[in-house]
Amino acid sequence: MLSSLTTRFALLKQLRRGNLGDVIFQLLALLFGLSILALVFGIVFETWAQSAPSRREFGWSFLWSTAFDPPNDSFGALPFIYGTIASSILAILIAGPIGIGIAAYLVEIAPRRLNQIVGFVVELLAAVPSIVFGLWGIIVLAPWLKNYIVPPLQAVLGWTPLFSGTFFGPSVFAAGIVLSIMILPTVAAISRDVLRAVPDAQREGMLALGATRWEMFSRAVLPYGKSGITGAVILGLGRAAGETMAVTLIIGNSPKIFTSLFDQGATMASIIANNFAESRGLFLSSLIEIGLMLFAVTFLINVGARLLVSLISRQPQGGIRA
């Protein structure tokens, strides 16, 4: 409030001095800045308005209904919420530790030159379009998993419900693996930035006490960057939840609650992408309501994770934080 008053005062003063160009330019810049807020508000408003018929028809039961019956106009979101959670968790279980490992390598081990090359490769991984990963996942990866990974996995863990049933190719399992490859750059890049922000005094102190590099990393660096790393993992989770095309191609888009990872399923994003073009009326509206929920979930995940990541830069310098 105070700052906006001072801004206005400054504007007036400039106006009196006759720098009209400055005032116009600042207002223009402000307009574009405010438009960003307007865009996000517009997204919320539009999805809220378009999902009104669905919200009126199903109310809160939309959240826990498993119905999915386009001919009879009966819909529920539970299978898709469930599918999104399951595939994202599978992806982050794989990509989380590996991403942190890459960050550790880049910050603690790699020589400068190699550091740049590996950093570039990880960036390229982020640049490959989602649809290409999807194509690769369904045509190359799924058959490969079927022939070489699933048989031994089933021989050992086939008795658990998670790995039971027949693996056909399109499955939650294959989708989770492709997702993990796709969110790896997010987790790795942000963890790297967080680890870089850990002051060197942390490392030097630990090394001076005779610690090995692993002891230094696990006891002085990781605890210090804990909140930032958590943020990186959560951001990866958010990316996995919102990822659309690769999952749409691989997960099979079957609206049911699965128990085995080898089953087919569907996520919130994939069911929208798969059915949007053919949907009308209440079906369309309920898809948009799923979109609204997806927006809410990813928005909250991102706000939370960004706050966690920004914590690291405000931490006091020096001193072991356990």
Partner 1 sequence: MSQLATTSARYRRRKLLDKAMTVMAYLCTLAAIVPLVLVLVYVAIKGLGAWSPQFFTGLPQLFGNGGGIYNAIIGTVIIVGLASLMGIPFGIMAGIYLAEYGNNHLGSLIRFTTDVMTGIPSIVVGIFAYGLLVVSMGGFNAFAGAFSLAILMVPIITRTTEEMIRLVPGSIREAALALGAPRWKTIVYVVVPTALGGIMTGILLSIARVAGETAPLILTILGSNFLNTRIFQGPVAALPLQIYDFSRSPYAGVIEAAWGASLVLVLMVLILSLAARLILARRGST
Q: In sequence order, what are the beta bridge partners of 252? A: 265
134 binds partner 1 (CB under 8 A): yes
- Least distance in angstroms from the C-beta of 125 to partner 1: 5
Window 80-119: residues binding partner 1 (CB under 8 A): 97-102, 104-106, 108-110, 118
**How many residues bind partner 1, per CB under 8 A?**
94
User: Which member of 295, 311, 315, 321 binds partner 1 (CB under 8 A)?
Assistant: 295
What is the DSSP secondary-structure string of 173-210?
A: HHHHHHHHHHHHHHHHHHHHHHHHHS-HHHHHHHHHTT
- Whether the CB-CB separation of 289 and 65 falls below 8 Å is answered with no
61 binds partner 1 (CB under 8 A): no
- Least distance in angstroms from the C-beta of 37 to partner 1: 6
Q: From CA 237, how far away is CA 93, in angstroms rounded?
A: 10
Q: Which helix (H) or strand (E) holds 68?
A: strand 68-69
298 binds partner 1 (CB under 8 A): yes
In the complex with partner 1, the residue whose CB is nearer, 42 or 161, is: 42
Q: From CA 68, how far away is CA 76, in angstroms rounded?
A: 6
128 binds partner 1 (CB under 8 A): yes
5 binds partner 1 (CB under 8 A): no
In the complex with partner 1, the residue whose CB is nearer, 67 or 295, is: 295
In the complex with partner 1, the residue whose CB is nearer, 134 or 265, is: 134
282 binds partner 1 (CB under 8 A): no
- Least distance in angstroms from the C-beta of 211 to partner 1: 9
- Whether the CB-CB separation of 253 and 270 falls below 8 Å is answered with yes
Question: Which amino acid belongs to residue 53?
Answer: P
Length of the chain: 322
Distances (CA, A) of 316 to 73, 200, 243: 57, 13, 36
Torsion of CA 201, 206, 210, 216, to 10 degrees: -120
User: Which member of 9, 12, 15, 33 binds partner 1 (CB under 8 A)?
Assistant: 33
Window 156-215: residues binding partner 1 (CB under 8 A): 181, 184-185, 188, 212-215
- Least distance in angstroms from the C-beta of 299 to partner 1: 6
Contact stretch for partner 1 (CB under 8 A) within 73-81, 135-143, 197-205, 258-266:
135-143
